[in-house]
Amino acid sequence: GAGVSQSPSNKVTEKGKDVELRCDPISGHTALYWYRQRLGQGLEFLIYFQGNSAPDKSGLPSDRFSAERTGESVSTLTIQRTQQEDSAVYLCASSPFLGAYEQYFGPGTRLTVT
């Protein structure tokens, strides 16, 4: 069965450029989550969606980060004016409902800002 997919798998960009990361959740999952994982570190929670609504954006690191979701489908995480400290793996997860203990993670997008 189809799991969570993310694209691109790898992205190298120059400092100051904008990037858009995409997440396709498991069909029927109403909740979607974005995390960031720096090299050798644990996961840092960024934002969640219930349907296409993101009630709490306080986990986003700065106003250069934004996220959208279309209905209960695709989500995009956009980073404007990228900085070197944005380099990390960005992981997306989905779950059947918000707050489920079991979240299904995608493979991540490895972002490198040069």
Q: Sort 52 into a burial class: Cβ within 10 Å, 0-12 / 13-18 / 19+.
A: middle
Q: Give the count of residues interacting with other proteins (CB under 8 A).
A: 27
Contact pick of 19, 21, 29, 48 for other proteins (by CB under 8 A): 48
Structure-block tokens of residue 49: 């969606």
Q: Which is nearer to other proteins, 82 or 103 (CB)?
A: 103
Identify residues 63-92 at the interface with other proteins (CB under 8 A).
91-92
Contact pick of 60, 77, 108, 111 for other proteins (by CB under 8 A): 108
Under the binding rule (CB under 8 A), the answer on residue 56 touching other proteins is yes
- Are 8 and 109 contacting, i.e. CB atoms less than 8 angstroms apart? yes
Under the binding rule (CB under 8 A), the answer on residue 98 touching other proteins is yes
* Pairing of the two strands 10-13 and 109-113: parallel
Q: How far is the CB of 38 from other proteins (least distance, A)?
A: 11
Q: What is the largest CA-CA distance in the chain?
A: 38
Residues 6+ apart with CB under 8 A from 74: 22, 23, 24, 25
Q: Binding residues for other proteins, per CB under 8 A?
A: 4, 33, 35, 41-45, 48, 50, 55-56, 59, 91-93, 98-108
